[in-house]
Amino acid sequence: MLWKKETKNYDSMYVDIFALNGGEASLEKAIRNLQCHEKESVLAKNDTQSFQKRQAGNEYFSQGKWVHAITLYNESLLFAENSSKNISLAYANRSACFLKLKKYNECLVDIELAKEARYPSELMPKLDRRKEDCLKQMKNDVPSKLETKMTFEPHKHFPWMANVLKIDRDADGGLAIFATEDIDVGENIMAEKSFMCFLYRHYGSKCNICLKSLVNLMPCEKCTIVMFCSECKDNPLHPYECGLKSCIRSQTNGQIMRLVRSCLLGIDHFSSADELMNFAEQSIKGDLHEIPTTSLDAKWKYEAFLKLPIDNNNGVNDDVAVIVFKVYKMLLNITKIGSMFQSVKRRRFLMHLILQHYHILELNSAIGTYLPKMDHTENNCYCTQTELYSQYFRHSCAPNVLKVYVHDMFMITTIRPIKKGAKLLKSIYIEDFLSAPKATRQKNLWQGRKIFCTCERCISNKMATSAQRRRMTLDPDYLYIVDYDESIRIDKFMPTAIDKCKSFLQKYGEIRFCKELGVIVEVYQLFMNTLSTNQHLLH
C-alpha cells in the first residue's frame, strides 16, 4: 500500500491509507484508547515534586551514588517552577556530584548556573569553597577519557569518515565501504552523528536531542520532559514538540513521538509541500544503490534517510495505521505544517511520507537498553538513534571493524589490519555471537534478520590452525583479559584491558577469524561501550 496511487496516471493521488484501515472514525476511536490518561499536573511544573526529587537525589548522594543523584537533580530541575529557588539548589547539588566524579569543568559550570539562578546568599560560602576545591583538584588530576575523534583527516565529501576510505559498488551491485590505504588495528575511521535520536523515558538522564549524559543539562522552561545540553539548547524543533504527549504507554508514546520528530526534521528543509513531494518521490524512485557524491548538504542527509531499507512486507496493520494517523493529526495541528498541506492530494502524500518514516525507523534504529538501575523508575529501553551509513557496512562473522556508541555519535574502530582495497565488514551482533559456533550464528542471523550468512568464516574451509589458536590462548594479553582478577575494580581494569585487546588484535588480527579472536572482540566492544556511556562511573 505504501506509495500506491489510485490510478496509473502519474499525477494521480496516493491511496487513502486511513480509509483502507477502517476509516478516520474508527482510527479516532483507537487513538482515544491510546490517549494519555495522566493528569495534567504530572506534566506541569511543580515545586513540590521538584523538592521531592532533590530530596531523593540527596539520598543517593549520601550513598555515594553520584550518577543516580545527578539524574534526580536533573528531574528536580525539570519540575522546578520558573524562577523558583529549587533551580539554584538543584544546580548547586549537582555541582557536588560532578566534583566527586572528577568532572571539573561541569562542576564549575553548575556553580555558575546556581549563582545565576539566585542561589541563597547565606549558603554562598559553601558554594565558593566548592569552587576553590574544584580548581585545586583540577590542577593535580587528569581524568582518563575515551578517545572519540577520528585518527585520520576527514574525507573531503563525507566528513564523517576518514580520508582513507571510499564508498563504492560491491560485487553484488550494492554499496560498500573500502579502504584506499592499509589501515592498522585500533584506528577510529568513522564518527557519524545520528540522523536523529530520541529519548523514550528517564528524561533526567540525557540531553533530549543529542543523548549526552553527565553534562550541564538545562530544563526546557515549558515542559517537564526535555533537557538540553549547551549545544542543543536552541534546537528549533522542540518548540513544535513541547507539551505533546500522545499515549500513556511509554513505548507507544516513543514510537509516535520519534516519528513526529523525524517528520519535523524532514519537512523543515522545505518551504512548500510540492517541493517536498518532488524531492521525496525522486529520492525513493531513484537508484537506491547510487554512489553518493557528497554528504555536506542537510537535504542530502534526508535523501539518504528516505533511501534506507525498509521491511514493507507486513503492509499496514491496524496498530501501524493508528500510529500513522495519530502522527498525521499531530503534524497537521502545527500551524506551519497545516498550511503547507491543505489540499487532499498533499494530505494523501503526507500519510505516505509518515508511513515511509515509520518503516525506516522500525528497521534502522538502534535502541539502547542500558540504564542505571534506579529504585523509582522502571528499567526499560530508553533511547533510539538512526544512522544513515550503517547500510554500507556488510555483515560478516569475521568483521574487521567494530561499532561503538558515543552519545549521538557512532564510532567505527578497526579491529583487524585492513589492506588497501579491502572491504569494511561489521558484525550485526557482537555479544555472545562472535565467539559462538557457526550453527548458533546462522540461527541468530536467520531468526533476527532473515540473513543467510555467506561470510568467509561461514562458508570457507580455511580456518585458524590449532597451533595458532593455542598460541593465542597462551598469550599474556589473552590471559589477562580472560582470567579477570576480581580484586581489581572493574573501572580500573577496563582501560588496561582495552589496551591489551588492541595489542592482542595487532598481533593476531591476520589470522583467520576464530573463537579466540571473537572472545577478545566481544570484550573490547563491551568495555569501549561501557566507557563511552559512563557506565563505569556507576559503581
Which residues contact Zn ion by CB under 5 A?
207, 209-210, 220, 222-223, 226, 229, 232, 242, 397, 453, 455, 458
Quick check: 182 and 418 in contact, CB under 8 A?
yes
Q: Min. distance of Cβ 193 from Zn ion in angstroms? A: 11
Q: Bridge partners of 196?
A: 386
Element housing 280 (H / E): helix 273-285
Nearer to Zn ion, 21 or 71 (CB): 71
Nearer to Zn ion, 85 or 394 (CB): 394
CA distances to 41, 73, 88, 161, 511 from 413, rounded to whole Å, are 47, 35, 41, 11, 18
Which three cell numbers, joined as nine digits, stand for 109?
559550570
Nearer to Zn ion, 308 or 398 (CB): 398
The per-residue DSSP string of 286-351 comes to: S-TTPPP----SHHHHHHHHHTS----TT---HHHHHHHHHHHHHHHHSHHHHHHS-SHHHHHHHH
Nearer to Zn ion, 193 or 345 (CB): 193
Q: Min. distance of Cβ 438 from Zn ion in angstroms? A: 7
268/254 Cα distance (integer angstroms): 21
Q: Min. distance of Cβ 205 from Zn ion in angstroms? A: 13
Nearer to Zn ion, 162 or 453 (CB): 453
458/399 Cα distance (integer angstroms): 12
Nearer to Zn ion, 40 or 132 (CB): 40
378/310 Cα distance (integer angstroms): 31
Q: Min. distance of Cβ 378 from Zn ion in angstroms? A: 22
Q: Report the length, in residues, of the chain.
A: 539
Nearer to Zn ion, 353 or 424 (CB): 424
321/304 Cα distance (integer angstroms): 25
Q: Min. distance of Cβ 422 from Zn ion in angstroms? A: 17
Nearer to Zn ion, 242 or 344 (CB): 242
449/509 Cα distance (integer angstroms): 27
Q: Min. distance of Cβ 61 from Zn ion in angstroms? A: 25
Q: Bridge partners of 468?
A: none
Q: Min. distance of Cβ 319 from Zn ion in angstroms? A: 28
Q: Min. distance of Cβ 436 from Zn ion in angstroms? A: 11
Residues 6+ apart with CB under 8 A from 181: 164, 420
